[in-house]
Amino acid sequence: MAHQLSDDELFAYAERAKGKVVVITGGANGIGKETALVFSKHGAKVVIGDLDTAGAEAVVAEIVKTGGKAASIKCNVLQWEDLVALFDLAIERYGVVDIVIPNAGINETGDVCRGELTIVDGKPIAPKLMTLRINLIGVFYTVHLGVHYIKRNRTPDSWKAIVLIGSMASWQAVTKAPQYSASKHGVLGVMRSLEPTLSAENIRIGVVHPWFADTKILSLPISLILAGIPLTPVARVAGAIFRAATDPNPETNGCPWVLPDDGPVLLLEKEALRTGVYEMMSQRVQRIKSFVATVQDWVRLFRDLARIFRPVLVFGIPALILALAQRRRLIKLPSRV
């Protein structure tokens, strides 16, 4: 049902990346940056689209410095024209597009579905749903364009690939993060829906599902909750993306590549996308949840103790100081005969 892959196995078909043109969104930092560097290391040409132009340019400079080829452009994945410009840049520079990685994404933003509304002129206004739009609509835009550009200037024997970025939230919903959970469930659904038609055209598609990785997407509260819990190495996530794109086996097309903890990558069979997988994921996530729950219990304990002993601290300590001062004064008084 699940096949474990060592770090070395993630690069078993590294020679297939040589000369390929990779278009990646969100490639200026974190997983995207590491993925861009990995593909370049193995001879691919990389085109990065990111709102962080300085970060993207720094990645390009790093690639060029090591003898690689790369380019970047400012890109908001919700702006159709920006994405068109990104793919056009790849065609202008390198003539083709071989691998598309819609990596741009954000964490949960805003409080939705909690009964709180923003009222303007006496009427509730619609939520912005920025997380859902970037993590799912932005992916749709990128894939929609990617399939088109992949077919441009294509030779009959060339292979192509699209690798989506899911999450453990694709399998286990994150409490108080409905947009993020919905978007990552949706990304898995996109892959499963597109695989039959893309496979018939020799276009690979897969989804990489990492557990929390040490990237900028982690907010401070989440980072504090996860303190002490092993995070998925960013390099391993990039390696899983690389293998998902370069694996020549048709049987792995349309498969999820899962990193449920800091351990090895798990390749799940397509036919295993049923109860058994969800049970396995649930067990993995439950182990982490138990640890988090224990930490939260200790936090509540210390908070309650602080509340209970606050009067003692506020009033007891000054009283104790006064008592000690009074005792010292009495000791200094001369004895009466």
> What pLDDT, in 10s, does the model give residues 72-120?
999 999 999 999 999 999 999 999 999 999 999 998 888 899 888 989 9
In this predicted model, what pLDDT tens digit does every residue of 23-81 receive, in sequence order?
A: 999 999 999 999 999 999 999 999 999 999 999 999 999 999 999 999 999 999 999 99
Lowest mean pLDDT, pick from 151-155, 173-177, 285-289: 285-289
CB of 25 within 8 A of CB of 78? no
Q: Give the model's pLDDT for residue 298.
A: 65
Q: For the ranges 221-225, 236-240, 318-322, which has the lowest average pLDDT?
A: 221-225
Q: What's the pLDDT score for residue 337?
A: 38
Q: How confident is the model at residue 157 (pLDDT cuts 50, 70, 90)?
A: confident
Say if CB 68 and CB 57 are below 8 A apart: no
Question: Which pTM was predicted?
Answer: 0.80
pLDDT at 30: 94
Distance CA 102, CA 24 (A): 6
Q: Is the pLDDT of residue 335 over 60?
A: no
